[in-house]
Structure 1
Amino acid sequence: MPPAPTHVAIIMDGNGRWAASRGLPRAAGHRKGADAVRAAVRGAGIQGVRYLTLYAFSSENWNRPADEVMDLMGLLRTYLSREIKSLHKEGVRLRIIGRRDRLAADINKMIDDAEHMTRDNDRLTLVIALSYGSRDEIVRAARALATAVVEGRESLENLNEERFAQELSTHDIPDPDLIIRTSGEQRLSNFLLWQAAYSEFLFMDIYWPDFDENTFAEAVSAYHGRDRRFGARP
């Protein structure tokens, strides 16, 4: 059996369309999508994946209707309050990346508590991209390094790709080997743009609420069929 991808990242797309196809409100799709998150975590564990990153809420998602944003934040609160003890018991470490300054104070407190509780777990690292936008992440990293150079804390000659990556929110996480997007759409939508330079992509024609452990296994099987050369000649 070929080795599993170390890091799988998923753009969880299609909650709204899943609900619409069943004559249900969008909120029902988001709630069903939370079940798929649990299935994805289980699937990652079964396949031996060490890092799983889920694109839960983008920086652009703040522009959605206020009631939908409220529903999503409520779902996040429910997830953090109900799932963390289970994740901790299963040896899962939780990491949140994204702009926390836009989140409510109580959500930030729940995130801090969850990350602290699970910080020593090493079976699987679950990274949730929340209020996250890759362009913003890159700009903030560039601004931090530029400020360090101006203030004399950093030498311009020492700046390279490795040093730049250290300023990203994923500085202690390996780049994704495989990026999956559900719903059939074929774009990254401002997700891990720097980190995805040599990732394999898999666009799946199912809505996110229908994603399960078998789907995860199919994705890993497809990944095993790829020839990763990282720019080298065959």
Structure 2
Amino acid sequence: MRRHFTRSVRGPVTAVVTATTGLVLLSGCGLPDHREAGSRSDGSTSQQPSILPKVPVPSGKPLGPDAHVPDLGAVDDSDATAVSKAWAETTYSYDTKYDTSPHGAVLRGTRWCTERRASAERRYRPAAGPGSEWNDWERHQAWTTVTVSSELVDDAPRDTEGIAYRSLVVAGTAHGRDGWTGTGPRLNAYVKLVRTAVGEPWRVDDATVVEAATPPKPNESPEPTGSSSDDPTQ
């Protein structure tokens, strides 16, 4: 029977978007291609899908000498916390001059994953654009840097010889090649790590991620609320 763990979200990520159906599980598989069959005037069902399949996002370019991706140096892969943080820092450090979507960094992060997860990530092809936040970064040819901290979760299971769980907070900044700066990736990740035996390296086998709400842009302000009775012209 699978146990369910509850935990509080703390740290720099305060506004968290939660879905009523639960957390978004990053299992390395793409979303299903939902297509609806159209209806004919005689009430029968057409075989022609009413929603055309999306064109996969193209792969990114090979990294050049000016690419900004983390160089983590030596990581102690006998330490589950160190491995989980290395995975998160690599996976959420993008360079939009070379990456066409976040998936480019996801693939770089597979060095810290089990072969099962890494294989699934290599097979996956994004079927939709990366979104407006990515478009903002891309306009400035920005790269992202992240700070990863590990949280203590009171009701998390203890490490066993082969399984460990870690709760991480990721806070990022985007740096444009034109001097612009903005908000980078912001999320909480609950990571499952496994190893085949004591003394073998820990590897990320699964991760549940909750992304923070995107803050308003500096030139945006909330809509005014309340009565306009203070306006002397009325």
Asked whether the two chains share a fold, i.e. TM above 0.5, the reply is no
Higher relative contact order (CA 8 A, sep 6+): 1
Q: Which has the higher helix share?
A: 1
Q: Which has the higher strand share?
A: 2
